[in-house]
Homo-oligomer: A and B are copies of this chain.
Amino acid sequence: MSKWYIEKGDQGDIVLSTRIRLARNLREEPFPIKLDAQGKNRVNALIRSAVFENDQNDFSFIEMKDLSRRQAVSLAERHLISPEFAAKKEGSALILSKDESVSIMLCEEDHIRLQVMKAGLDLEGAYDIADKLDSMLDARVHFAFDERIGYLTQCPTNLGTAMRASVMLHLPALTRCGQMTRLANTVSKLGLTVRGAYGEGSQPKGDLYQISNQITLGITEETAIANLKSIVLQLVAQERAAAAELMKNPAEEDKIYRALGVLRLARLLSSDEFMELISLVRLGVARGLLDVPMEKINELIVNMQPATLSVMHSEADGPAARDAARAKIVRETL
C-alpha cells in the first residue's frame, strides 16, 4: 500500500503536508505521568480494543518496547511519533494505519495523541478524518472533558480543543531572500508558530518549515483551522513571488541545475548535503524548471533520513555505508 506522502496535494508546489493532532485523555485514569507500566498497559488495551473493534483503516498495534532504536527513530523522522516518544519502552504503544496517514500514540504525554496526515494543504480533509476517529472513540470510552474549558490535557497549553493543526511548507526562496525571521515574527503575533520541520538550527534543513496553531482555549477547531489556512495561503503566495524574482537571476537557476547534476551522479551523500540539494531541486520542479515528479522528491525527503534509510535498506549500516546507499537510491530515483 502506498504511503500518504507519495501523493501530491493541493498547493503541492509549496505545501508538502498537513497534520491534525488531537490530544485526548480517559476520564477514569490519571495522566500517563502518574501511571506505572501496568497502568499504562491497561489504558492502552482499552483504547486498542475500542479502535480495533470496527477497524476500517487496516491498523496495526505496535508496542514501543518491541522496536529497535533505529525503527523508533525512523517513526519520529517520518513525524509519525514525537521524538520523545521514540525513546519510550514499556507501557508506550502506537496504533498505525497501513498508509501511515493515521497514527495514534498511546500514553505519550496524554493517553491518546491521534494524528492524521494528508498530502498538500488539506486541513479540512485531515480534520474530517480525525473528527470521525474522535467520535468513534468518544462513543466507546469516556474522555476527560469540561463543559467550560473543553478537553482536559496534561499540559495546560493544549487545554480546550486540544487540537494542533500544522502544515509543512517548503520555502526556499523566502529563506534565500532572508525573509523568514521577519515572517516568523509576524506569524507569531497572529497566534501561530513557525519552526523548522527538520533540525533545530538557525536555518532549517531543506528549507522546510512547520507552521501550526498555538491557541486551543476559547476557540473552535473550525476557526483555528480557518486562521491557519489563511496565513498558509499568504505564505504560499509570498514564496511564489519570491521564487519568481529569484529565478530571474541566472546564477540561481544555475545552482538548481547543478544540484540536480550532483544528486544524479554523486556516489556519497550526507543527510545535510542531500537536504540542501533536494531543496534546490524541489524549487526547480516547483517553478517548472526541472521535469522531475514532485512525488519522487517528497518521498526522498521523507525516506532519505538517517534512521529511515537504515531501516529500509539493511546495507546502509554506519554513516559511510549510509551515505553511499543514500547516493545510490537518490540517483536511481532521479
Contact = CB atoms under 8 A, between A and B. Distances in A.
Interface stretch (A37-45, A146-154, A230-238, A248-256): A248-256
A246 interface: no
Interface stretch (A162-170, A204-212, A259-267): A259-267
A253 B268 CA distance: 9
A79 to B, nearest CB: 30
Contacts of A266: 254, 257-258, 261
A324 interface: yes
A292 to B, nearest CB: 12
A158 to B, nearest CB: 47
A258 B265 contact: yes
B268 A250 contact: yes
Nearest to A268: B254
Contact of A250 (B253, B262, B265, B267): B267
Interface in A288-304: none
A257 B265 contact: yes
Contact of A261 (B250, B251, B263, B324): B263
B262 A258 contact: yes
A266 B258 CA distance: 5
Interface of A: 250-251, 253-254, 257-258, 260-268, 320, 324, 327
17 contacts: A250-B267, A250-B268, A250-B320, A250-B324, A253-B267, A254-B266, A257-B265, A257-B266, A258-B261, A258-B262, A261-B261, A261-B262, A261-B263, A261-B264, A261-B266, A264-B264, A264-B265
In the complex, the 3 A-B pairs of residues with the closest C-beta atoms, listed nearest first: A261-B265, A261-B261, A254-B267
